[in-house]
């Protein structure tokens, strides 16, 4: 059993993480092997995304009044993944979808028991479905590349057509 002072310290730590993050993802990691969690933590740390495991009761206390709406149901063992705002500002990346996207990509690539069960995005509590939609949004760099490719594609096709016409006339 945790002492009251230790619980208060843990709540304060969680509140700091919640307050200083652009977005937050609630993750159910029930059945996750220690080796897989170690890999997950390392990958998230490399992307400058925080990850904390917490008791649900302490997390609910820390979340009260931090966002609009109702806190999604937190089932199983719960952790939070978050992008600290000061790190994002320092790195020049203002990508609030990074934490959700990294959890989702880890879940896909490692085929482990890891589920997004909700989160906080733009000051609102969101359920699993909405956070999954956010997690599937590509990064800014990928979106830029897709946009450039989309614009460049008709020009390339036109050049190929002109080349074929020139070859057929000669």
Q: What is the pTM of this model?
A: 0.78
Count of alpha carbons within 13 Å of 114, Cβ hemisphere only? 27
- Mean pLDDT over 72-98 rounds to 76
The verdict on 154 and 133 lying in the same domain is no
Co-location of 25 and 69 in the same domain: yes
Q: Is 51 helix (H, G, I), strand (E, B) or coil?
A: strand
Q: Are residues 83 and 151 in the same domain?
A: no
What pLDDT is recorded for position 69?
A: 87
* pLDDT for the residue numbered 75: 87
Pair 132, 146 in one domain:
no
Domain shared by 86 and 126, yes or no: yes
Q: What pLDDT does 94 receive?
A: 66
Measured from the Cβ of residue 125, the count of other Cβ atoms closer than 10 Å reads: 20
**Same domain (yes/no): 66, 76:** yes
Q: Within this chain, do residues 110 and 161 fall inside the same structural domain, yes or no?
A: no
Does 126 lie in the same domain as 105? yes
Structurally, the chain folds into a number of domains equal to 2
**Residues 20 and 87 both lie in one domain:** yes
pLDDT at 11 over 70: yes
Predicted local confidence at residue 131, as pLDDT: 92
Domain extent, residue 35, equals 4-137
The per-residue pLDDT for range 14-63, each reduced to its tens digit, is: 998 888 888 899 999 988 889 989 999 999 999 999 999 999 999 999 99
Question: Which runs of E-coded beta strand occur in the chain?
Answer: 21-28, 50-54, 78-84, 115-121, 124-126
pLDDT of residue 114: 87
Q: What are phi and psi of 69, to 5 degrees?
A: 95, -165
112 token code pair: 């482990």
CATH code at 39?
3.30.70.1730
- 145 with 123, same domain: the answer is no
Query: Is the four-CA dihedral 104, 69, 15, 4 of positive or negative sign?
Result: negative
Give the model's confidence band at 85: pLDDT under 50 very low, under 70 low, under 90 confident, else very high. confident
Average pLDDT, the chain: 87
């Amino acid at each position: 059993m945790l002492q009251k002072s230790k619980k208060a310290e843990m709540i304060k730590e969680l509140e700091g993480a919640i307050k200083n993050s652009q977005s937050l993802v609630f993750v159910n990691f029930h059945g996750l092997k220690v080796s897989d969690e170690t890999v997950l933590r390392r990958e998230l740390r490399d992307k400058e995304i925080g990850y904390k495991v917490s008791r649900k009761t302490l997390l609910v206390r820390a979340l009260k009044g931090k966002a609009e709406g109702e806190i999604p149901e937190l089932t199983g063992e719960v952790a939070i993944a978050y992008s600290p705002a000061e790190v994002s500002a320092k790195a020049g990346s203002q990508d609030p979808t990074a934490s959700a996207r990294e959890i989702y990509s880890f879940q896909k690539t490692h085929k482990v028991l890891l589920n997004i069960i909700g989160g906080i995005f733009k000051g609102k509590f969101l359920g699993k479905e909405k956070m999954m939609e956010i997690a599937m949004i590509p990064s800014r760099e990928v979106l830029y590349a897709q946009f450039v490719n989309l614009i460049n594609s008709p020009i390339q096709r036109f050049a190929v057509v002109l080349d074929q016409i020139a070859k057929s006339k000669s």
